[in-house]
A = this chain, B = another copy of it.
Amino acid sequence: MRAKRRASILDAALSVFAEEGYHASSVSSIAKRAEVSKGLLYNYFKSKEEVLLTLVRDLFDYAMELLKIVPDEVITEERFREIIELSIDIPVEEPQRWRLYMSLVFQRDVAELLMQEMAPRMGTYMTSLSQYFQSRGYEDPMAAMRVFSALLDGIQMHCLLDPENFPREQAKQHLIKQFT
């Protein structure tokens, strides 16, 4: 039951953060939405920031799991295609969570905190990707990987900003065709 309360606080926080942005959200409004007293929230999380970090960490872990990313993986063409498809489809399932994530990327203070933690795991993933590009004969596989990531992020971003109208399938096919 403790876990349940915790989850409901995180749910509430997510939706408030997503609606108003992290800095503009108040702990009061999170508590209210979670139907919990402000005091109790501090029983579960030691600060507003910790709520945010928890949220993002969870999301990141969840994404890693869904994408089935493991360290030092060798990426085949088949797998590469899968990564593209999942990367684009997953965020759309829960746009709220991912929008929050995106909104933090350009928030200097928070972004640094996050990157600190995620850098290592992201790093090995990046390496795997650039090895894929190397195996495909790219001259500068590192650069190719970065361009690819940027393009993928762009697609994700637009999917999140307008999940209903953005031509997701076409975008997917475009990416796949370009890089396989």
Interfacial residues, chain A to chain B (CB-CB below 8 A) = 18-24, 99-100, 102-103, 105-109, 140, 142-144, 146-147, 149-155, 157-161, 165-167, 170-171, 174, 178
Contacts and interface: CB of A to CB of B under 8 A. Distances in A.
Contact of A155 (B20, B22, B140, B147): B147
A167 B140 CA distance: 10
Given A150-B158, A151-B155, 20 more contacts: A19-B108, A20-B107, A20-B108, A20-B109, A21-B107, A21-B109, A23-B23, A105-B161, A106-B160, A106-B161, A140-B170, A146-B165, A146-B166, A146-B167, A147-B155, A150-B154, A151-B151, A153-B157, A157-B157, A174-B178
Contacts of A20: 107-109
Nearest to A111: B161
Contacts of A171: 146-147, 150
A105 B99 CA distance: 10
Report the 6 A-B pairs with minimum CB-CB distance, sorted nearest first. A154-B154, A103-B106, A23-B23, A143-B167, A150-B158, A150-B154
Nearest to A101: B106
A155 B158 contact: no
